[in-house]
Structure 1
Amino acid sequence: MTVSTSPLPGPLWSVLNDIARQHPDNDALIAEDGRLSYGQLLEQVDSVARAMLGLGLQRGEHIGLLMGNSVQWAVLWYAAASLGLVCVPFNTRFRGEELSYGLAHEDVRALFCVDTFLDKIDFVGMLGDVEPAINTTLPGKKLPLLQHLVVFGQRVPGAALSEAAFLQLGTDIQPAELTAARTRVESDDTLLIQFTSGTTAFPKGVMLSHASMLGIAKCVAVRMGVRSEDRYFSPRPFYHVAGSTMSLLVALVHGATLVTAATFDPAQALAIMAREQCTLTSGNDTMFLMMLAEPGFNTHRLCLRGGWAAASPQILHDVVEKMGAKDICNAYGLSEASPNLVFSDYREPLDLRLNGSMTTHAGLDIQVRDPVTAEPMPFDQPGEICARGWSLMKGYYKLPDQTTATLRDGWLHTGDLGTLSADGRLKFIGRLKEMFRVGGENVSPLEVEQVLLKHPAIELAQVIGVPDPRLGEVPAAYVTLKQGAAASSEDLIAFCKARCANFKVPRYLCIVEDFESIGMTGSSKIQKNRLRDFAIHQLGLA
């Protein structure tokens, strides 16, 4: 019998309270700004929640968070959630125009931010350009709904509150008032508005409920084999659901410790995992490759047992063999699904976990459909991945047309390509919009990338379609090489010719030092649209 509703509906406050009372002395969070046990976390969440009530915030109102991964970020989120406030986490890479749009469109009433991030990004200065009234009196003319600004750090504008002044607001809030506010929160309330990765337009705000995020966290924690004694290192940014659901909540629901960092640095990540004796981790191709290629990799004594990744079989094999994470699992999902749809299980055979063949969670349905007709595809034939069930978003905030286009007849149309086997195992192939046609033949970038990754010299591979006057489009590949490895573009093209159909072989292959200058998203994913623009310019194909 399948479960028609979330296996852990929450709301989040009830889960946090239960776990903290079961494991009060367990470390809950370890970050660069400190560490808290579950008992201490509960105390800080209560203090901040009282201050939020003292600020006048009420259930259903939106608060923004603009800061990197930290204990502070988590405390603010848990406190807001306990009152039924909706959290809008901002990407720390957002700049003025994106920040202005997000604050306005998502109706943010109160923004909590640090004055400076990584000692170089001036959030206060940026906010002053967006809304000059932060220096005098809020609300202002540009953001009339933004009534409160709380700044953590030394530079507090005239209309903002310092951390101390903010916390002082909670001293007169009585326990009965706090309890009453928390009892009004329901499982289906919106917990978080997640920005999707905007590429050609402003990002959309995905509304996710307590029940959907907690349910996915519980399902993933079970399949990962999370234990209360585990120490789970995840540098995934909290402003993304890979950081909120798949990191913070996955650790929380089983009383484990989450260890994080404000930003991802491979040397720092290895040092943290060794120092904190982390048993679980998560990452993607880029992050794992950077750690495996780190010159001091072999000097770190890792204690990894497992975790999860969205990565190719070749890279996952190295994560098992070289990092010791023998229970590593594969994952596929998207923000609109809170964010996971299918996940492997640490108890399955390793080969099954590495090959990207995953099963869905109880109560969720998956179909692979023809992208044009929307008819279900035969087993093992590629088509668009569609899903329905309790983990889906409530919609895009204030974007009804986009919501209707994505959620049709109760089914989420992911825009992703995959295959479904007769026994219900899904394989992700790639983004439909990243597919390209070479002389009438469909080519999946991921398929060509996985061929390239089999070459012993290649560390990372990215493939895009670029214009061609005869065939319409042809493959172009950008690769980085492993430290100390050597190979020519001609060698690598010849390697592909021996292993895949000629229309899939890269017409152009460029060896680069890294992808940072071309562009990564905040979750360390390479942006294919930027890479394509870069290639067209570099190769003179405009």
Structure 2
Amino acid sequence: MPGHVHHWAVADPDRTALVFDGRETTYRELDGAADRLAGWLAARGVRPGDRVGVHLPNCPQFLIAMLAVLRLGAVHVPVNPMFKAAELRHELADSGACLVISRTELAAAVEEIRVETAVREVLLADTDDWDDALAHAPHGTIADDPDALAALNYTGGTTGMPKGCEHTQRHMVYTATAIDSGRATEPAPEGIVSLCYLPVFWIAGENLGILAPLVSGGTSVLLPRWDPAAVLDGLERYRVTTMAGTVENYLELLDRPDLAERDLSAFTAPLTVSFIRKLTPEVRDRWRRAVGNHSVLREASYGMTETHTSDTSTLGFQDGDHDLLGEPTFCGLPVPGTDIMVVDFATGEPLPLGERGEIVVRGPSVLTRYWRAPEATAAALREGWLHTGDIGSIDDEGCLSYLGRDKDMIKVNGMSVFPTEVETLLGRHPDVVAAAVVAVPDERRGQRPYAYVRTVPGSTLTAEALGKWAGASMAAYKLPVIELTDELPLTATGKIRKTELSARARRTRPAP
């Protein structure tokens, strides 16, 4: 990955690689900054295979840090800056990160749990120390083993705390080229110009805000967050060709009175993700009439952290709304080099076209294994196929439709909340005996976690007090509504009957 950036720095050094907050960074500048930071990291004892936590929001320092870590052959560990101490402790301790790159406003959380981790140094990217690091002598070389461990991208799971997905630079570059192949039937030679406000510590943001534009020699127009006015300014000013956002994001752009005044003639690949609101022929037609026939809204892709999340392309299926008139959600064809099957959940046998079952994937971007989790690896990776736990079907054209996550997944404003993770964190309270978390519908957020909690006999713990305690242990979007209960319904084998709890929660859920 850093080799591609270096290539463009040599071939076209003054080409704009990154735009952030109105400042344009050339490929020469980006490549040089990453090389010098790699030199500083090496001087601090970071070696190939060492893990480095990048605990930053969307900002140029994130890209420089990631590229520097990869230059060394070290391992990039992106860490969500919204995390509270318990979540931060888990990922830094589990990864064994030896150094963390963070910011001043986030440093207190790192220091709170640092003694429980292997972190020996913290570099703050908004201080003079960062400037000193970028003034270091260049490292000078680029690690060139495409199959060495290069990143641990953490994902939630169906059991316990998040697991690290082992990804390589081959996975990254393949994903970038797969995205490039799906942006247009005749892509422009100057590369992808991608506007990204998705968090780049998420793998989808990494793909669209870092990998795809930089491998193709294009430009990443990076925003710190969703801001419709800033998005329109960026789309027009920098001749953006692609962006991924929710349906709600595009509807907000459509409601802006200044949309008609904007020149969005370069915006040929607007991609959307149907989390709460779904992409419909009506929404697509409204966008096309407002922006032009060259700009057709399409679903972005099927994927997950384990597969580097860009496994399919919907390009070519938008004519006549072919992609929107079948089963939701239409994901299109697998990208070149990737294979997708739908199999029986119980037997693993391939199912006939049109039948619903488990989506399984194999290809050049599937994780190597779960970090330090051999049992989880063996359960998910079988005979070269990743068993996703997702439900889908394949039509007679070979196109995939995604029909839902596994039964317990909760989506809050498009962000994944795994019940077992919330249950595990709640269970750390000394008065909590057991917790069961299910999803309830929420008009504003799509879904919301709802927790049934049993406490120890005689406990005076209240739902309100537990909620306040939990707020210090997990990101706000994961916080559940809490209901204390004397008993949890169990099956004959001792498992909690979540179907029963889900029905109960839907009847009693609080107002949004």
TM-score band (shorter)? Answer: 0.7 to 0.9
Q: 1:112 to 1:323 in 2, by over 3 A?
A: farther
Q: 1:475 to 1:249 in 2, by over 3 A?
A: closer
Q: In the alignment, which residue of structure 2 is the partner of 1:146? A: 119
TM superposition shift of 1:233: 0.8
Q: How does 1:428-443 map to 2 (within 5 A)?
A: 428-434=402-408
Match of 1:420 among 394, 398, 411: 394
1:30 aligns with 2:4: no
Q: 1:285 to 1:51 in 2, by over 3 A?
A: same
Q: Report the 3-state secondary structure (helix = DSSP H, G, I; strand = E; otherwise coil) of the residue aligned with 1:14.
A: helix
TM superposition shift of 1:95: 1.0
1:367 aligns with 2:336: no
TM superposition shift of 1:200: 7.4
Match of 2:75 among 86, 104, 114: 86
Q: How does 1:6-85 map to 2 (within 5 A)?
A: 12-32=1-21, 34-85=23-74
TM superposition shift of 1:270: 2.7
Whole-Å separation in 2 of the counterparts to 1:479 and 1:299: 32
Q: 1:146 to 1:18 in 2, by over 3 A?
A: same
Q: In the alignment, which residue of structure 1 is the partner of 2:487? A: none
Q: 1:347 to 1:251 in 2, by over 3 A?
A: farther
Match of 1:351 among 305, 313, 321: 321
Q: In the alignment, which residue of structure 2 is the partner of 1:488? A: none
Q: In the alignment, which residue of structure 2 is the partner of 1:506? A: none
Q: 1:537 to 1:416 in 2, by over 3 A?
A: closer
Amino acid at match of 1:61: D
Q: In the alignment, which residue of structure 2 is the partner of 1:166? A: 133
Q: Report the 3-state secondary structure (helix = DSSP H, G, I; strand = E; otherwise coil) of the residue aligned with 2:224.
A: coil
Whole-Å separation in 2 of the counterparts to 1:282 and 1:97: 31
TM superposition shift of 1:223: 1.3
1:387 aligns with 2:361: yes
What TM-score does the superposition give when structure 1 sets the normalisation length?
Answer: 0.70
Q: In the alignment, which residue of structure 2 is the partner of 1:456? A: none
Q: How does 1:265-276 map to 2 (within 5 A)?
A: 265-276=227-238
Q: Report the 3-state secondary structure (helix = DSSP H, G, I; strand = E; otherwise coil) of the residue aligned with 2:140.
A: helix
Q: 1:27 to 1:93 in 2, by over 3 A?
A: same
TM superposition shift of 1:229: 5.9
Q: In the alignment, which residue of structure 2 is the partner of 1:231? A: 193
Whole-Å separation in 2 of the counterparts to 1:386 and 1:530: 34
Q: 1:421 to 1:199 in 2, by over 3 A?
A: closer
TM superposition shift of 1:271: 3.3
Name stretches of at least 5 consecutive residues in structure 2 with no aligned partner.
415-437, 446-470, 483-497
1:106 aligns with 2:91: no
TM superposition shift of 1:306: 1.3
Match of 2:108 among 122, 125, 130: 125
1:309 aligns with 2:279: no
TM superposition shift of 1:320: 3.7
1:326 aligns with 2:288: no
Q: Report the 3-state secondary structure (helix = DSSP H, G, I; strand = E; otherwise coil) of the residue aligned with 1:178.
A: coil
Q: 1:317 to 1:106 in 2, by over 3 A?
A: farther
Match of 1:207 among 143, 157, 166: 166
TM superposition shift of 1:334: 0.7
Runs of 4 or more off by more than 6 Å in structure 1?
A: 526-535
TM superposition shift of 1:422: 2.7
TM superposition shift of 1:55: 1.6
Name stretches of at least 5 consecutive residues in structure 1 with no aligned partner.
1-11, 117-122, 132-140, 155-160, 436-444, 447-458, 461-473, 482-518
> Is 1:224–1:346's contact at 8 Å kept on the other side of the alignment?
no
Number of residues paired by the alignment?
A: 427
> Is 2:268–2:296's contact at 8 Å kept on the other side of the alignment?
yes
> Is 2:247–2:279's contact at 8 Å kept on the other side of the alignment?
no
Please list the CA deviations of residues 68-97 of structure 1 after superposition, one character each: whole Å capped at 9, or x if unmatched.
111111111112111111100011211111
Amino acid at match of 1:65: V
Match of 1:192 among 132, 136, 151: 151
> Is 1:34–1:71's contact at 8 Å kept on the other side of the alignment?
no
Q: How does 1:250-269 map to 2 (within 5 A)?
A: 250-269=212-231
Whole-Å separation in 2 of the counterparts to 1:191 and 1:84: 7
Whole-Å separation in 1 of the counterparts to 2:84 and 2:405: 26
Q: In the alignment, which residue of structure 1 is the partner of 2:375? A: 401
Q: 1:200 to 1:364 in 2, by over 3 A?
A: closer
TM superposition shift of 1:111: 0.4
TM superposition shift of 1:327: 4.6
Amino acid at match of 1:326: S
Name the stretch that deviates more: 314-323 or 39-48.
Answer: 314-323
> Is 1:327–1:346's contact at 8 Å kept on the other side of the alignment?
no
Q: How does 1:263-302 map to 2 (within 5 A)?
A: 263-293=225-255, 297=259, 300-302=262-264
> Is 1:345–1:353's contact at 8 Å kept on the other side of the alignment?
no
Q: 1:91 to 1:293 in 2, by over 3 A?
A: farther
TM superposition shift of 1:381: 1.1
Whole-Å separation in 2 of the counterparts to 1:366 and 1:78: 31
1:339 aligns with 2:312: no
Q: 1:147 to 1:370 in 2, by over 3 A?
A: same
TM superposition shift of 1:393: 0.2
Amino acid at match of 2:172: M
TM superposition shift of 1:406: 1.1
What TM-score does the superposition give when structure 2 sets the normalisation length?
Answer: 0.74
> Is 1:338–1:392's contact at 8 Å kept on the other side of the alignment?
yes
Aligned-residue identity in percent: 24
TM superposition shift of 1:298: 5.1
Whole-Å separation in 2 of the counterparts to 1:407 and 1:16: 32
TM superposition shift of 1:40: 1.9
1:248 aligns with 2:248: no
1:97 aligns with 2:64: no
